[in-house]
């Protein structure tokens, strides 16, 4: 919501803000590890995924849902735990859960403050 508010406050027309939605959300979906594991993303663009809130929200969600929850579930051959494999594929470390929360909350505050700054400047120009 904070990122959407930032974009909405930066443009003049709500229709223009709606046109920016794909440009905001598609890179997040593609670079956060949601569809493609971070190891398969080229190194020169992988760092961009670390900026997006969806990356940290997804890491938090998967750690909370999968960490230690399916220890008893193994495949027929007694193979590896698939939950742990999913966490390894997206480079989610359960020990870093608090770090992910801090980054996500910090991004929320920063994006909201940027939106507030933009709205304040627009209000000064208007009055």
The confidence score (pLDDT) of residue 125 equals 87
Q: Could you tell me which residues come within 8 angstroms of residue 48 by beta carbon, excluding any fewer than 6 positions away?
A: 27, 31
Percentage of the chain beyond pLDDT 90 is 39
pLDDT tens-digit series, residues 37-74: 888 888 888 888 889 999 999 999 999 988 776 666 65
Give the other-Cβ count within 10 Å of 63's Cβ: 19
CA-CA distance, 2 to 78, in Å (whole number)? 45
Band of residue 36 on the pLDDT scale cut at 50, 70, 90: confident
pTM: 0.81
Q: Closest by alpha carbon to 54, among 15, 104, 8, 95?
A: 104
């Amino acid at each position: 919501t904070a990122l959407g508010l930032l974009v909405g406050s930066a443009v003049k027309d709500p229709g223009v803000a709606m046109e920016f939605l794909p440009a905001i959300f598609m890179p997040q979906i593609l670079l956060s590890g949601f569809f493609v594991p971070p190891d398969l993303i080229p190194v020169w663009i992988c760092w961009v995924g670390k900026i997006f809130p969806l990356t940290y929200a997804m890491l938090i969600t998967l750690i909370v849902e999968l960490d230690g929850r399916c220890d008893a579930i193994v495949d027929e051959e007694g193979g590896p735990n698939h939950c742990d494999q999913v966490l390894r594929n997206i480079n989610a470390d359960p020990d870093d859960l608090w770090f992910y929360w801090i980054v996500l909350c910090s991004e929320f505050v920063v994006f909201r403050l940027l939106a507030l700054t933009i709205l304040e400047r627009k209000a000064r120009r208007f009055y």
